[in-house]
Structure formats: structure tokens, C-alpha cells
Structure 1
Amino acid sequence: MKLPHPIQYQGSKRNLASQILQYFPLDIETLIEPFAGSAAISVAAAYNNYANKFIINDLNKPLLNLLELIIEHPNKISNNYEKIWNKQHINSVEHYFEIREKFNKSKDSSLFLYLMARCAKGAVRYNKSGEFNQSPDKRRKGTIPERMKKNIMGVSSLLKGKVKFKSEDYRLLINDISEKDLLYMDPPYQGVCSNRDSRYYSGIDHSEFVVFLEELNNKNISYIISYDGRLGDKKYGEPMPKHLNLEHIEINAGRSSQATLLGKKDITYESLYLSKALQKRIINDNQNTLIMKELKYA
């Protein structure tokens, strides 16, 4: 089975998951995503047997409800998607706007799946009132139902019965975390905290986030953060504070679509930050692996 991905979500870490998973410890009790988005890292971790228990949290309640439907009720959401998708053929653009209006009134997650599959560039956008306002991609009609169902069933087979779903402020998760767990955090980038950004359902305050990380450090919690990056020589976001003692790693995210359009070859690099507790676990894992190899060939 290929890695399934029913939710088309700009900014998803699905394509970077294999690089991010390289820094996962071997003894994860629960993988926690406080800013889950499409939960791409949880899906990849389950696919690669890194964890058997998960907490998926996101303040975007329709998105969280959609994830729960995909994981726990795959047939229901697949059938609903097929019905909505099949009604678009007479005038697909008009149909899209009708579904968008219905979703903004009802917050029905079945409608949300169709909108994400059909919207321009898979880019979720919101207006100042928190309503979904992205336009349709007029060149395509979204993932065909057969492929969507296959992806939904794939995700469900990996995660069904293993996930606790939450939609609360990330700071409230502090009491759910133990030293055996791992947090993977992909919060909104710096710069979208005080002013609303249409890409995000909700921003976070940078200073409050740093305080949360200090609390995690005091509890010896392992975590990974995706937070800032650079395109060529241009940096986006300030580095995390040095007093947190985080290991900074850059991962190659490939050539940006904007650079390609301009005929440039600039590569995008995204930053990962590894907590001190995680660094120690990785070192122990590597030492144990070397010991096992020596025993095997002794």
C-alpha cells in the first residue's frame, strides 16, 4: 500500500514525512500532533510503525471532524463525497460555490472534503469572519471518488481505534504528555500571530509558544518543531531562542513553485528543531542499535 493522502492540503508535510521521521525515537508511546492539519505525520508514522497510539488536535473543528470521519467512519465519508462529487457535472463551478455556501453555514465536514479536493492549488483560505473563501480550480474537478475512497480506506486501516481526537488550545495538552511520548508540532509560521492570515484558521502567539516549550523542557518531553525556513538566502521567521537548547536541522523541501515560475533554481529549506530530551533518546537509540549489530556479528 502506498502512503494514503485523502486530504489535499497546501503546507502539508506529507512530502517531507520521510525526512522528518528520521528523527523519531524507536520507543514512542503516543505521538501527539497539537497542530495536526491533515495529520500527515501521524499517517506516515503509523504507516512506518513508529507509534500505535496518537493524539490528533486542531482548533479547526470541521477539519478535525473530517479526520475523525475518515479514520473511524470511512464508508460514510466516502459515500457522501461520491454523492457530492457526482452532482458537479452540469456546472461544476456553480456547484462548487453552492457547496461552499452550504459549508460556511453548516460546517458539515463531508462538504469540506469536497471543497479541499476541488479548491485552487489545494490551498485552504479563510476570510476575516473565519469562512472558507477559496475559489475552485477550474481546470479539474477534484479527486475522483474511487481514488478518494482508496485513500480514505488506507488512512482508516492505519489509524482506526488508535486515535484520541481533540480540538483545544495546544497549551492544554501539557497534562496529556509523558516522557515516553513524542510531540510533532507544525504551528502557523511566525508573523501570522497578531494579524489574521488567510492561510490559517487560527494563529499563535510566539512568546506564549516559547513559554510552552520551556514547560515541555522542564518535564523532559521529546518534541520536534517545524517552524521557519529559507528560500535561497532569504530567511523566513526568526530562529528559536537559544536558551531552549534545541538542535536546528534544515531539510530540503525542493524547489518552490514560485521560483519555478520565475525560472529560478532556489531551493526551499524548512527548519526542524529537536528538543534536548529527544536528542538524548536518539543518541541512546543509536548506541543500542550499534550494540545489537555487534552482538549479531560476534
Structure 2
Amino acid sequence: MRNRLIQQVERYVADYTNSDGNSEQEEKIQRKLQLFSKRQAEIVKVEAKGKINSIHNKELGKDVFYDVHYKFLIKQGTHLYMEEEVESRYALFQKNYLGQDIEISKLGEENKEILEEEVLDNVEERSNYQYDRLRAVQYAEKWWNSYNPVYKKFDVDCTNYISQCLHAGNAPMRGYPNRSKGWWMRNNNWSYSWTVANSLRWYIPSSKVGLRGKEVNSPEELKLGDVICYDFQGDGRYDHTTIVTAKDAKGMPLVNAHTTNSRMRYWNYEDSTAYTDNIKYKFFTIVDDR
């Protein structure tokens, strides 16, 4: 079974190299290649490694939850950088044959792994601060593909991760214990704005003290440590949040994210299977008390 999974991961690498995979993988590859073509960039090298997280025995086979960690060496003019992404997948083996292999994000909730939750406690509350962009980015880089055990973790972890990055940058929590007010995680509880993408999207520009931000018109205006919010369907409800951790050769943001764990991914997510032509973005630069 492990050898079959290894062969599957090797096939993913070959698919990216030859652009000749299964329908699911082919769509993802084509999106990424089209995005790089628009940016006058190219994928120089692809690596992928698989890691089995858990195996569950069933009457007729085994459920396997595993990750595929991609590394893309990107060349844009004379500029080289490494983009990384971790795709969480589910595989069903029946009599040692691979019967199904799919991204976990496309499964029903009843089939997903239950993530162990941790507790964040005794956080001092304050309102004034100076945002440390370097520390926020350092945190984003340290935990982009893992989970800080001090905090709770979630199946859909994107906004929780961004909130942690902002807090690492010295943004103060406030509002405990009212879940609908402020921005906080404490005593095995948390505000909606800490964990829900749509709530954080509205909280940042409306907050008057503590963590707050100003909307800007274009991604070029963002600085390291700033935030992008994504409404994939264009229906007014925002689904995803990322943090700017670098800029490419043309000064466009590269972002880190959780759920599909990503590092230095191009900001617009055109290579994502969640992307639609109706997508809307909000660009927020974080402001402080200086």
C-alpha cells in the first residue's frame, strides 16, 4: 500500500512535468501553468513528497489520509524563488488496490480527519500596539506547514493561522469573552473574527483600536505582513485569508496560507480549484498606533 502511494506521488510530479495527468490533476496543472505564463514566469523544477498521516481499517479495505508536499522552483526573469504547497488527500485501498484518491477538501465532513484541539489560555488583553511586520512574517514562515500547539487548530484553518501571524506581530487581542465582538482566542474559546474568514474581513477595516487595517485598491500597495481576503464565488461572503510574506520580481505579493498549506504562493489564486471568474478580493494594510 505504501508503495502504491509513493507511485501515486511520483505520478503527480510527472504530471506537472509533462502536463498529462488525470482530469482532476490536469485542471490544477493547467491553472498553474496559465498563471505563470501571465506572469512571464516558469516552473524550473518540481518536487513532491508524500507523508501518511493516518490509516483506518475498514471491512473491505483501508482509509488512508496523507499529504503531498510540492516544491516549485520558480524563475521570473533573473529572479528565483521557491513556492511550496501541501495538499491533504484521502485514498481508499481495497485489497491493496487504490480505489479512490481525492483532495480532502472535496470530501464530505463525515469523512474528514478529526484534528486534535489544543487550548490557548491566559492571554493579556490590551488595545494599543505597534505592528511588527518582520515578526508576523517570521511566524508565517515557521508555521506555514505545521500547527503551533499553543493554539487550537481547525479543519478549515486559514483564518486561525492568519490571526496567529497577526498576533505574533504584536496585534493585541480584545473583546473576550464576547464571541461576536473583538478579536481573540482564550480559555478554550475564540471570537468569530479570529477563525472565520468573512468575520475577519469585516473586522479589520471596522476596528477602531487594537488590530485594524486600511483597505487599499491594489495588491501592489500591500506590504509584508498585510492581509488579503478572498470571496471565491463573488457572492459577498469571504471564504479565505492569506498573509503577504514576500514580493515577486514584479513587486506582486506572494502569500502564505493554511487549509491548503501554501508558502510564497502567487496572491491571486488563479491556480486554485476554488477560483472562479467571479472572485473578489479585499486588500488590507495593517495600521497601528505609531
Determine if the TM-score, normalized by the shorter chain, exceeds 0.5.
Answer: no
TM tier relative to shorter chain: under 0.3
Relative contact order, higher structure (CA 8 A, sep 6+): 1
Scaled by the length of structure 2, what TM-score is found? 0.25
**Which structure dedicates a bigger proportion of its chain to strand?**
2
